[in-house]
Amino acid sequence: MTTLLINIKELIQVRENNIKKVSGADMKVLPTIKNAFLLLEDDTIIDYGSMENVPSSADTTIDCTGKMILPTWCDSHTHIVYAGNREQEFVDRINGLTYEEIANKGGGILNSAKKLQETSEDDLYEQSSKRLEEVMQLGTGAVEIKSGYGLTVEAELKMLRVIKKLRENYKLPIKATFLGAHAFPTEYKNNKEGYIDLIINAMLPKIAKENLAEFIDAFCETGYFSVEDTDKILEAGKKYGLTPKVHVNQFTTIGGVQVSIKHDALSVDHLEVMNAEDIEALKGTKTMPVALPSCSYFLSIPYTPAREIMNAGLPLALATDFNPGSTPSGNMNFVVATACIKMKMTPEEAINAATINGAYAMNLSEEVGSITKGKKANFILTKEILSYGAIPYNFGSVLIDSVFINGKAI
C-alpha cells in the first residue's frame, strides 16, 4: 500500500541515515525541501523530493497545498503513568510554598506514590492511556515513560506492566525507564540504605526477569539520592542491561552529571542549574543533555542554559517531563515554543532538539526523528502556515492538521 503526499509547502528535517544527532552550531541548520512530495509504503518512508520529480501514481494521494510536514515530536522524558492529580499542591505553590516545602510535609512524589499504590492496575492503565492518546494528537510520535511513583516492589512493577501494556496496544515507539530511585518512601526515611538495597536486590531482579525496562534512572539531587547513591544504583542497573538516563541538576549541582557520564548515560535530564565543570564534563561524551522547559515554566525555576550548552559544541534535546507535580502537560508544541521564548533557542534549534535529538535520547535514531528513507512514517501535517516559525510563535494555537503514525492518520 503506497501513499503519496504532494504539494507539500515545506518538508522539514530531511536527513540521511548516518545523522543520529546534531550538536553545537549544527543545531541552527534544519534541512528542508520546498514544494515537495513524500512517498510512503505501508508504515515506512521510501522516497521524497521536489515536486519536479514526483512519482506518477500511488494507491492513495493526499494534496498538502499550503501545509508543511515535519517528524512527530520525540518526547524522551515523561512520567505519563500516574494516578490522580496534585492540584492542591499547585494552589499551595501559588500561596507561597516551595516544591521542597511541599515535599517535606508529605506532598510531592510521596503523595503520588500513595495514590498509585491504592489504584488498581486496570484503572492506572485507563488513566494513562488517555494521556498517551492526548499527546499523540498533539504530535508526539515516540515517547519514554518512567516508573517512580510506586516506591514499593509491587507498585513499581505495576507501573512498568502498565507501560508494557501501552506499548502493546499503541503503535508508536514507547520506551520504559525504571525510576525506583525517585524518592525515599516514608518508612525508609531513616533507613536510606535499606531502600537502596530494596531497589537493587528486590526490584531490579524482577524487572529484568519480566523484561519490563530498557533504561534506569535516579533523582540525583540534594534531599533525594546522593551522588554515591546514584553511583551504586546505576552500577546495579547496568549489570541487568539497563542503560542510565538520569535526573540531574534540577535544583543544585552536586556531581550528578559526572556520575552519569561515568556510567555512560544515554542522557542527563533537567540541567536547570549548570556550572562550567558540568558543561566541560559533557564534551566528548555520547551523553545527550535534555532540557525540560515546561517544568521550569510551571515551577518558576531557572531554565536550562541552552545557549551555553550549544555554544560549547554540545547537542541538546527537549522533552516535556509530563507528570502530576511539576509539569502536568505533555504538549511538545508548548515545549518548543517555550524553548524559543524563554531559552532563546531558534526555531531550527528547538525543532532539532525535539525531533532528531529526542530520538537519540531514547535509542530510537534508526526509527524516528527525521524524514529519512527507511524510517517510520511518523510525521505531523500542519495546517496552512506561512513558515515553521509559526509553531513557536503561535504558542497558544494548535497548528496541526493531522498526525500520522506508521503511515496512517490517527
Binding site for N-formimidoyl-L-glutamate, by residue number, is 149, 323, 325
Q: Which residues are annotated as a binding site for 4-imidazolone-5-propanoate?
A: 86, 149, 182, 250, 326
To 10 degrees, the CA torsion angle through 288, 220, 294, 304? -60
CB-CB contact of 128 with 152 (8 Å): no
Question: What residues form the annotated binding site?
Answer: 77, 79, 86, 149, 182, 247, 250, 321, 323, 325-326
Distance CA 37, CA 395 (A): 28
From the list 302, 290, 294, the residue with the least C-alpha distance to 320 is 294
Integer Cα distance of 92 and 101 in angstroms = 10
CA gap 280, 278 in Å, rounded: 5
Residue from 372, 377, 351 nearest 5 by CA: 377
Evaluate whether 311 touches 24 at the Cβ level (below 8 Å): yes
Q: Could you tell me which residues are annotated as the binding site for Zn(2+)?
A: 77, 79, 247, 321
Q: Name the pairing type of β-strands 32-41 and 2-12.
A: antiparallel
Query: Counting Cβ atoms within 10 Å, is residue 362 exposed (0-12), middle (13-18) or buried (19+)?
Result: buried
Phi, psi torsion values for 48, nearest 5 degrees: -160, 165
CA atoms within 13 A on the CB side of 81: 35
Alpha helices in 254-346 (DSSP H): 256-262, 276-282, 293-299, 306-311, 332-343
Q: Angle 332-343/347-354 helices, nearest 10 degrees?
A: 140
Per the annotation, binding residues for Fe(3+) are 77, 79, 247, 321
Quote the CA–CA distance of 39 and 61 in Å, as a whole number.
9
The CA R_g of the chain, rounded to the nearest whole Å, is: 21
d(CA 49, CA 316): 28
Strands (E), 53-173: 60-63, 67-71, 73-75, 140-146
DSSP per-residue codes, 323-381: BTTTB----HHHHHHHHHHHH---HHHHHHHHTHHHHHTTT-TTTSSSB-TTSB--EEE
